[in-house]
């Protein structure tokens, strides 16, 4: 604590940083909890012949947040894999990723570094259909790339290592970068994949559409079933809750430490004022004789009682008997600091 009982700059910064981190974590926790509650409260609908009737009865022919499960089927054309034969899909993502080692001048270590140098994603319209494909009901999936948890399957992956000459190796050590190679990856959402869609379900003329919800809730297209997806979100909520509680306790501990320091400083100042007031009152009592002269036989320790002890061998008369008893061991004269071997009572006549 600085003078005046105020916290130091480091303590103030620590408290502010801890409070800010706790507030940020709590904000993330509340957002995750809201998403989990919304997902838990989503209406589960079946992809069967009654789906159109359900939407006709819903206000505005729309279910704001619905859960539906089905199998991917392309509407017209499908996307073919560039590397795997007879692999058809509706979403295709090609990625080129650079891998290299970068020298860290602080830790003096080589660290792995990855960078996407090219990525292309292609889509084609597709529907969700029942697994048995018997009812003839389809749901058109809108804006699939906006969906979270979109599980694309990796159908091809190959790493092309860098070919380096001796001169290149020396140059890389000098520059602090060592290329490892290029990784080529192809991911697809294949036809026939079982998907769980969570979003706004709307009947648009004769077409049933699954699209991003308008209330700000997340849009999901996941290869997990609904229960697994819900458990994953609840696990995320618990994780952020634990972090919030831990940093909240840390913030409370810092605040308690500062308040305790402040309280102790206040008590010390209050005790000092009390002692000053007692000293002033003692002086007022001692100056109560005629002419305002100070009482000469007052105890030099308490300034309230009269001197009643003679200290030997120094011979000083400076203390009352109560203050002599309160002197710490070994007892020394308050005037000359010489050891007291014997005390003789003083009688005033």
Provide φ and ψ at 153, rounded to 5°: -90, 135
Dmax over CA atoms of the chain, in Å, equals 126
Distance CA 152, CA 91 (A): 8
pLDDT band at 172 (very low <50, low <70, confident <90, very high): confident
Task: Give the pLDDT confidence of 25-51 residue by residue, as tens digits.
Answer: 999 999 999 989 989 989 999 888 888
Q: Tell me the two tokens of residue 207.
A: 């077409």
Burial category of 116 from C-beta neighbours within 10 Å (exposed 0-12, middle 13-18, buried 19 and up): exposed
Q: What is the mean pLDDT of residues 214-232?
A: 89
Q: What is the mean pLDDT of residues 322-334?
A: 84
Q: What is the mean pLDDT of residues 120-144?
A: 85
Radius of gyration of the chain (CA): 42
User: Prior bond to 313 cis, omega within 30?
Assistant: yes
Task: Give the pLDDT confidence of 173-206 residue by residue, as tens digits.
Answer: 888 888 899 999 999 999 999 999 999 999 988 8
Q: What is the mean pLDDT of residues 130-151?
A: 83
Provide φ and ψ at 292, rounded to 5°: 75, 20
Query: What is the pTM (predicted TM-score) of this model?
Result: 0.66
- On average, the pLDDT of the chain sits at 86
pLDDT band at 133 (very low <50, low <70, confident <90, very high): low
Percent of the chain residues past pLDDT 90, beyond the cut: 41
User: Prior bond to 24 cis, omega within 30?
Assistant: no
pLDDT for 215:
77
Cβ neighbors of 67 (< 8 A, separation 6 or more) are 42, 43, 44, 45, 196, 197, 198, 226
Pick the CATH number of 297-345 from 3.30.40.10, 3.40.50.300, 3.90.550.10, 3.40.50.970: 3.30.40.10
Task: Give the pLDDT confidence of 238-276 residue by residue, as tens digits.
Answer: 999 999 999 999 999 999 988 888 888 888 888 888 888
Residues 190, 191, 192, 198, CA torsion sign: positive
Of residues 346 and 141, more confidence is placed in 141
Q: What stretches of the chain show up as alpha helix (H) in DSSP?
A: 9-40, 51-57, 166-175, 226-286, 321-326
């Amino acid at each position: 604590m600085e003078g005046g009982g105020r916290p130091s700059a480091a303590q103030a910064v620590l408290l502010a940083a801890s409070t800010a981190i706790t507030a940020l974590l709590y904000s993330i926790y509340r957002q995750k909890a809201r998403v989990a509650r919304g997902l838990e409260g989503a209406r589960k609908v079946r992809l069967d012949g009654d789906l159109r009737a359900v939407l006709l009865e819903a206000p505005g022919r729309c279910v704001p947040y619905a859960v539906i499960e089905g199998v991917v089927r392309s509407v017209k054309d499908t996307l073919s894999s560039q590397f795997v034969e007879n692999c058809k899909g509706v979403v295709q993502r090609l990625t080129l990723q650079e891998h290299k080692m970068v020298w860290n001048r602080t830790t003096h270590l080589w660290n792995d570094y990855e960078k996407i140098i090219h990525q292309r994603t292609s889509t084609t319209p597709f529907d969700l259909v029942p697994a048995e494909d018997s009812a003839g009901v389809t749901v058109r999936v809108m804006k699939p790339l906006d969906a979270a948890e979109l599980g694309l399957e990796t159908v091809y992956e190959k790493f092309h290592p860098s070919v380096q000459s001796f001169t290149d190796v020396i140059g890389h050590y000098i520059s602090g970068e060592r290329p490892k190679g290029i990784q080529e990856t192809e991911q697809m959402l294949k036809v026939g994949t079982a998907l769980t869609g969570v979003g706004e379900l709307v009947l648009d003329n004769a077409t049933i559409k699954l699209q991003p919800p308008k209330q700000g809730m997340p849009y999901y297209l996941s290869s997990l079933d609904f229960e697994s997806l819900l458990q994953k979100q609840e696990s995320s909520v618990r994780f952020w809750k634990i972090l919030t509680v831990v940093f909240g306790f840390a913030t409370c501990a810092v605040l308690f430490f500062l308040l305790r320091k402040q309280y102790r400083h206040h008590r010390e100042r209050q005790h000092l004022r009390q002692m000053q007031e007692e000293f002033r009152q003692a002086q007022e009592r001692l100056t109560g004789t005629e002419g305002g002269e100070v009482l000469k036989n007052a105890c030099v320790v308490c300034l309230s009682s009269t001197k009643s002890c003679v200290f030997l061998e120094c011979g000083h008369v400076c203390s009352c008997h109560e203050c002599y008893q309160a002197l710490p061991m070994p007892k020394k004269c308050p005037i000359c600091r010489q050891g007291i071997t014997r005390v003789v009572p003083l009688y005033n006549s």
